[in-house]
Amino acid sequence: MKPFMDKDFLLSTPTAQELFHDHAAKMPVLDYHCHINPQEIAEDRQFENITQVWLGGDHYKWRQMRSNGIDERYITGDASDREKFQKWAETLEKAIGNPLYHWSHLELQRYFGYTGVLNGETAEEVWNLCNEKLQDPSMSVRNIIKQSNVTLICTTDDPVDDLKWHKMLAEDDSFDVQVLPAWRPDKAMNIEKPEYLDYLKTLGEVSGVAINSFADLKEALKKRLAFFDSMGCRASDHALEYVMYKPASEEELEAIFAKRIDGGELTDLEQLQFKTAFMIFVGKEYHKLGWAMQLHYGTKRDNNILRYKQLGPDTGYDCINTYSSSAEMAAFLNALNATDELPKTIIYSLNPVDNAAIGTVLGCFQDSTAVGKIQQGSAWWFNDHKTGMTEQMTSLANLGLLGNFIGMLTDSRSFLSYTRHEYFRRILCELFGNWVENGEYPADMKALGQMVDDISYNNAVRYFGFKL
């Protein structure tokens, strides 16, 4: 029997162990997509207790606590931080097979030196240990980032953001980790939302463009794109329910926009036509700027309306959308490629059934302008567990070139989530090790080690064009 989460956790073969310890474990971390707050980095926040680090805003954990019958008071309510931590510890002991079990214990090991097991009985011990450690200056946000061997972070930012915290960090010589913005224009695209007209007013104010037409909107976005580019932005990110492709003429699009400006209600077709045009416009702009475009789709959001009204979005009530959109994805990419304006693109679907479809779409649009120009993103959200990561990388290997994969990202709101890169790298090395041990790839440790180094870090640096 193997010890619990020891140095060879998830590594069952000598090849996997060598690849991880001699290569993957030594590579830095490049977190090219996350949701952490740049203000907390700029101000070098010090957390008061482990609940603030672990449970504040983490809807992954909230879902599991609800599955354990925990009252909402101990999840998002007014219970004390100690009480919330206790309920999480009691939930975690039942989470066998869940990645949260592994992530939580990796974080306890790496950041707090705790090699035991967190459960209801050990919660007091762990609470005291972690809280004492969190008071140490070494556990400030910046120091957590530094000890995690992170070289660059891309946050998630709206076009109207002033990016003042990014500017402050860029000018701070005492902190050498780059913190760059990433462009997330969902609010500018979601024309059906009740707050859309208010958003256009704000966008108009910050861009200096009065937005009364679709042409005006595009001009305002161009100005903000130029500003983000000047601040080092190299990537966009889009949250889509599914990939749409419903083209319309300029006249039709202006009529749709005018209808919305006048307070009219758009049909489903009109919404899709507008969003298609929006995405084609920004895609062409990304191509001009040399940015990468990230597309996250396959999600059905806010399914529990009762809780949505009480707690708002991003509180743990989303699910996988079974809609398959490979045909629309291919048509969308082709619309950009037809005029040679297809940017580097990373495709993530929340539905693991889409792995093979995405793998076949990638091959239709690769070219010599970038190695691995069109990427399948790392197993995302409900798929970032051992099975999901293994299936995603196996599918990518079957249908493309896994050696060009740009690897892992945290997609997290927590500063302790960098151990997810370690988790991913262990799974990657185990996958390689099994292929080698089974005679499916030669035991060429030089070639294998280079691929592990590249997938862990180097490929992403090259792909996005970061200057490190």
Q: How far apart are CA 45 and CA 42, in angstroms?
A: 8
- Residues in a beta bridge with 300: 319
Residue pointed to by tokens 């567990």: 385
Residue pointed to by tokens 């099975």: 387
Band the pLDDT of 423: cuts 50, 70, 90.
very high
**117-156 confidence digits (pLDDT tens):** 999 999 999 999 999 999 999 999 999 999 999 999 999 9
- pLDDT, residue 363, reads 97
For residue 242, give the nearest of 193, 184, 298 by alpha carbon.
298
Q: How far apart are CA 73 and CA 84, in angstroms?
A: 8
126: tokens are 């762990």
Q: Is the pLDDT of residue 220 over 80?
A: yes
- pLDDT, residue 453, reads 98
For residue 30, give the nearest of 406, 431, 427 by alpha carbon.
406
CA dihedral (98, 102, 105, 110) positive or negative: negative
Amino acid at 84: K
For the whole prediction, is pTM greater than 0.95?
yes
48: tokens are 């008061």
Residue pointed to by tokens 């309510």: 77
407: tokens are 């690897």
**367-378 confidence digits (pLDDT tens):** 999 999 999 999
Q: Is the pLDDT of residue 243 over 90?
A: no
- pLDDT, residue 165, reads 98
77: tokens are 């309510």
Band the pLDDT of 235: cuts 50, 70, 90.
very high
Amino acid at 304: N
- pLDDT, residue 314, reads 87
Q: How far apart are CA 216 and CA 234, in angstroms?
A: 24
Q: Would you say 87 and 75 are in contact if contact means Cβ atoms under 8 Å apart?
A: yes
Q: Please, which residues have CB within 8 angstroms of residue 198's CB and are 6 or more apart in sequence?
A: none
Band the pLDDT of 97: cuts 50, 70, 90.
very high
66: tokens are 């609800």
Neighbouring C-beta atoms of residue 250, cutoff 10 Å: 10
Complete DSSP assignment for 242-307: S-------HHHHHHHHHHHHTTPPPPHHHHHHHHHHHHHHHHHHHHHHT-EEEEEE-EE----HHH
- pLDDT, residue 322, reads 82
Q: How far apart are CA 120 and CA 263, in angstroms?
A: 54
Average pLDDT over the chain reads 97
Strand-strand pairing, 235-239 and 292-297? parallel
- Residue 317 has φ and ψ, to the nearest 5°, of -125, 30
Q: Is the pLDDT of residue 323 over 80?
A: no
* Inter-CA distances, 138 with 134, 237, 447, Å: 8, 32, 37
